[in-house]
Amino acid sequence: MIASLSRLKPRPISSVCALDPRGPGRMANDLDTSRRAVVSALGAGLAATAASSGSAGAEPAPRRIVGDPTTKYPKGPFPQQHQAYPGLASKMNPRPDHGETSYHGSGRLAGRKALITGGDSGIGCAAAIAFAREGADVAITYLPVEEPDAREVVALIQRAGRKAVALPGDLRSRDFCRQVVDGAASGLGGLDILVNAAGRQHSVDAIADLSDQQFDDTFKINVYALFYLCKAVLPHFKAGAAIINTTSVEAYDPDPNIIDYAATKAAIMNFTKSLAKQVGKKGIRVNAVAPGPVWTPLQISGGQSEEKLKKFGLDTPLGRPAQPAELAPLYVVLASDENSYSTGQVYAAVGGRGGP
């Protein structure tokens, strides 16, 4: 989800590093070899469980049983539900699977340091859990009102034996985005991965009802913040670093009721390809993931109409929406040094409903 509205004051999670809203850097409390190579790497990444200490050593994971992807997770019709924006994953029915009990690491990101926006829930949360279990220290951004979800993510990162940095605030602010990068780098002792997962989506049937404020906020959160963050992390990055952006099936197959959101996702896809060409000579890779329908708070807090929410994901060939946990392995592969020849690429996980 996105970072906070300016009127909300951050409430840092105790026992982890949190960005002090009073100024930059002040701390309080303390993914082209080929798509075949990516698929191969994905399989390898689920082979073992990272040691609880977070070291590169790994223990064998229990044998995984391959199941039917059409029945692996819940499908609609979903219960009628609505939460005030931005919503909490912990209050969704059914509750999303972020990989809390299912993701097993193998030390593929040992020693890495990642900043993940929207890390409290949805895809950002799933990436944070996976990164920590692969051996990375992780900083997350989130809305202060999403702190209940953020607390759970922080606990899971720490349980994996990794450092967690909590950064509540408003990603619409250029200054805050700069502070987030400085805070993450300071709290983690460096930075070499940026995952832009935060996003704003609100369904509006007619353009006449799409307010200037909503259009502006959607672009500020989805595009402007991504620009601010990418620009701010580059001075911290060395060869081998990676940026992973989050575009969408909406970038190339847009729905009529989220035209502002779809437009931002098309912008993100092109931004990714352009930036990858610019920083490739520095050894920095930039890729993106393009999800299809994913069961996250984004959907139940205005992202879909209540009628569409009931049938969410049923129109895909797999007949259901994805769970955040199913996206996390893509982010791990894109961050991993094993995928070192992939840059400027967009990798889809859309349940069969087209691709980039």
Model confidence over 73-123: pLDDT tens digits? 988 888 888 878 877 788 878 898 999 999 999 999 999 999 999 999 999
Band of the pLDDT at 63, cuts 50, 70, 90? low
Would you tell me how many other CB atoms lie within 10 Å of the CB of residue 134?
A: 28
261 catalytic, yes or no? yes
What is the 3-class SS of 264-326, one letter each residue? HHHHHHHHHHHHHHHHHHHCCEEEEEEECCECCHHHHHHHCCHHHHHCCCCCCCCCCCECHHH
| Residue of 1, 8, 24, 29 whose CA lies nearest to 180 | 24
pLDDT value at 33 more than 60 = no
Model confidence over 143-176: pLDDT tens digits? 899 999 999 999 999 999 999 999 999 999 999 9
With b for 16 or more beta-carbon neighbours within 10 A and e for fewer, the 187-219 pattern comes to bbebbbbbbbbbbbbbbbeeeeebeeebbebbb
At residue 69, the pLDDT reads 93
Least confident of 5-19, 69-83, 111-125, 194-208: 5-19
Q: Is the dihedral of CA 305, 310, 312, 316 positive or negative?
A: negative
Band of the pLDDT at 36, cuts 50, 70, 90? very low
Quote the CA–CA distance of 356 and 347 in Å, as a whole number. Answer: 7
Model confidence over 314-340: pLDDT tens digits? 889 999 999 999 999 999 999 999 999
Asked if 222 and 265 count as a contact pair (C-beta separation under 8 A), the reply is yes
Give me the catalytic one of 261, 331, 341, 347: 261
Query: What mean pLDDT is predicted for residues 2-30?
Result: 39
Band of the pLDDT at 21, cuts 50, 70, 90? very low
**Amino acid identity at 141:** T
Quote the CA–CA distance of 120 and 85 in Å, as a whole number. Answer: 14
Query: What mean pLDDT is predicted for residues 30-55?
Result: 39
At residue 61, the pLDDT reads 57
**3-state SS assignment for residue 343:** coil
pLDDT value at 303 more than 50 = yes
Band of the pLDDT at 353, cuts 50, 70, 90? confident
The CATH class given to the 79-349 domain equals alpha beta
Query: What mean pLDDT is predicted for residues 258-273?
Result: 97
Contact partners, residue 90, CB within 8 Å, separation at least 6: 148, 149, 152
Band of the pLDDT at 179, cuts 50, 70, 90? very high
DSSP 150-169: HHHHHHHHHHTT--EEEEES
Domain map (residue ranges) of the chain? 79-349
Contact partners, residue 267, CB within 8 Å, separation at least 6: 222, 223
Find where tokens 């670093």 sit. Answer: 241
